[in-house]
A and B are shown apart, each in its own frame.
Chain A
Amino acid sequence: MTDAKVIAPIVLGVLMLALWEGVVRAAAIPSYILPGPILVAKTLVADWGTLEPSLLVTVRITLEALAAAVVIGGLLAILFSLSRWVEQSLFPYAIILQVTPIVAIAPLIIVWANNVELSLLICAWLVAFFPILSNTILGLRSVDPNLLDLFHLYGAGRWRTLVDLRLPAALPYFLGGLRISGGLALIGAVVAEFVAGTGGNASGLAWRILESGYQLKIPRMFAALVLISAIGIVIYLVLSWLSHLLLRRWHESALDGEN
């Protein structure tokens, strides 16, 4: 990565924060309308005792949902690729799950699951699993037909062909889906908590935002918002790094311009 690629967004970010702080001070905007970034940072430190447990809850639900999306989405994709029949029977239902707005089914899930954390997990998973499923299916199908012939020629069975040909060919597609799902798992976790709207000790950042709104503690609302964005950025960076690590040797997407 070049220096400019890192420095340019940081410089822009610092300038925007300075502008924000300047406007808030110059126009004397009250903090219950728009707090300045310095106040938000101070609140983040001062309220850390409340925010930290919520942060951990949101992170945990997001990661669990993402893991479930990887396992179930990946396995379903493999199953679909092995049998047209299974795919044709099940895929429409996967699409129905995907297109139904999560806020519309979240109340039902909360009633059925009868456990806040489990229902949040199910909601986040529902939002996250489809990109992994559809991308991995696409990848498992996008195999060079000549390579398939070659495997056939040398007597490779279904299992060998899956492990040595289809899975590696699908890896870049899977990783692309994973990056989308990482963000969606976080969105799912936050949206579901808004719908669930439950307080208490086991509540995540979304609840802190709702609560701050009720109490007009707008700086804390911003602090929670900053943390949610931070989770999203960290997930994206980690998944991008993972993708680069796995593909840098061979895939066009990971080439660095030279060659």
Chain B
Amino acid sequence: MRLVGVRGVSKVFANGVEALADVSLDVRVGEFVSVLGPSGCGKSTLLRLLAGLTEPTAGTVEWSDETGKADLGFVFQEPTLMPWATAIANVALPLKLRGMAKSEREARAAEALGDVGLKGFERVWPRELSGGMKMRVSLARALVIQPKLLLMDEPFAALDEITRHRLNDDLLELWQQSGVTVVFVTHSVFESVFLSQRIVVMAARPGRVSAELAVTEPYPRSQGFRTSAEYAAWCRQASSRLGEAMAA
């Protein structure tokens, strides 16, 4: 069943740059889909369109259930925490903005911090956290409202490989537990294969969907999958699709 889709969407910025040209994409309920592409292919713009943070120049964004629109989490490339607020206050922000009482939102924020492995870090200030931990706080903030759709914009691109692998593992676990739908933007072939059920490959100038690849490996995927021959084969396939997209 479709959760949200874009139909023939184009986006031209005020400076004349054509970020997206006639993009159509359906996101199904509960799936984990990655958007893979080189920089400048409009994948971040596509995510912002889904979030309603920007309007398409042409085409439409369609929600199967209009209430889903209000139930989304967004994780940016940077942790984007408020430096003047503790971890728990950062996580509780979406609830605060929705007018939830302090005791209730702090209880839910503490739970969300626990879910991302940061139990005991409630009163810590962002500057005292490592890059990976900041990203976990950011993830907890996106999940605290129990969103239907989680949009992630190259969230782990700036992290070291060890941290990125652990966050990938934890993200998959959270996805399986919560049943949230995830759209994950990345420029990493390896990350997209490891995480997703479906990879949407995009090409640049103008940004368009160039190929789709269903990664039919079963979950749970763990460390074993990352070193398997199957994983390497999938990566090879995704790489060649990406290569075609960049050559086109």
Contacts and interface: CB of A to CB of B under 8 A. Distances in A.
Interface of A: 144, 146-147, 149-156, 160, 164-165, 168-169, 171, 249-252, 255, 259
26 contacts: A146-B76, A146-B78, A147-B80, A149-B51, A149-B74, A149-B76, A150-B76, A150-B93, A152-B53, A153-B52, A153-B72, A154-B93, A154-B97, A154-B98, A155-B70, A155-B97, A156-B97, A164-B96, A169-B84, A249-B84, A249-B125, A250-B126, A251-B84, A252-B127, A259-B127, A259-B128
Interface residues of B, number: 24
B96 A250 contact: no
Interface string B73-100: 0101010101111000000011011100
Contacts, number: 55
Nearest to B95: A154
Contact of A250 (B52, B93, B125): B125
A149 B52 CA distance: 10
A199 B208 CA distance: 79
Interface of B: 48, 51-53, 70, 72, 74, 76, 78, 80, 82-85, 93-94, 96-98, 125-128, 145
B84 A168 contact: yes
Given A147-B80, A168-B84, A171-B84, A153 B51 contact: yes
A165 B97 CA distance: 11
B96 to A, nearest CB: 7
Contacts of A146: 76, 78, 80
Question: Most A CB atoms within 10 A — which of B70, B127, B128?
Answer: B127
A254 to B, nearest CB: 10
Contacts of B76: 146, 149-150
B53 A153 contact: yes
Contacts of A164: 93, 96-97
Contact of A144 (B80, B97, B127): B80
Given A150-B80, A154-B94, A251-B84, 4 more contacts: A146-B78, A154-B97, A156-B97, A169-B84
A258 to B, nearest CB: 11
A151 B51 CA distance: 12
A154 B70 CA distance: 8
Contacts of A255: 127
B72 A251 contact: no
A-B pairs, 7 with minimum CB distance: A154-B97, A146-B80, A250-B83, A168-B84, A156-B97, A146-B76, A154-B94
Contacts of A169: 84
A250 B84 contact: yes
Given A150-B93, A250-B83, A250-B84, A155 B98 contact: yes
B152 to A, nearest CB: 13
